[in-house]
Amino acid sequence: MNLLFWGLTISMLGKVLLTIGVLIAHTELAHERKIDKLVLKSFRIEHSLTIAGLFFIVAGYAMEIYFYDFVSMLTCFGSDCALSAAAFLSQ
């Protein structure tokens, strides 16, 4: 398995964690209809899942950037960048 596979998988995992965290907190709030210790606990869980999800999304993005060799685009200047971009777009 290559880096693109892992980048896409980790990015997807981060998005799923964000979704689960939001659903847990909002479901608990809708069920309780008031803010109590149970709702605050679900918000803490949502906070942790959101942080983990954000980390996975950024890590997956970095893996995808590295896989497609966009890292070299960060250090090129002038016509070198144009040649790199043209080579990428012609694929």
Q: What is the pTM of this model?
A: 0.64
Q: Which helix (H) or strand (E) holds 70?
A: none
Work out the burial of residue 7: count CB atoms within 10 Å of its CB; fewer than 13 is exposed, 13-18 middle, 19 or more buried: buried
Structure tokens at 17: 């964690």
Q: Among all chains, which residue has been given the structure tokens 């892992």?
A: 6
Q: What is the pLDDT along the chain (91 residues), one digit of tens a residue?
A: 677 788 888 888 889 888 888 888 777 777 777 777 887 788 888 888 888 888 888 888 888 888 877 666 666 777 777 777 777 677 6
Q: Is 32 helix (H, G, I), strand (E, B) or coil?
A: helix
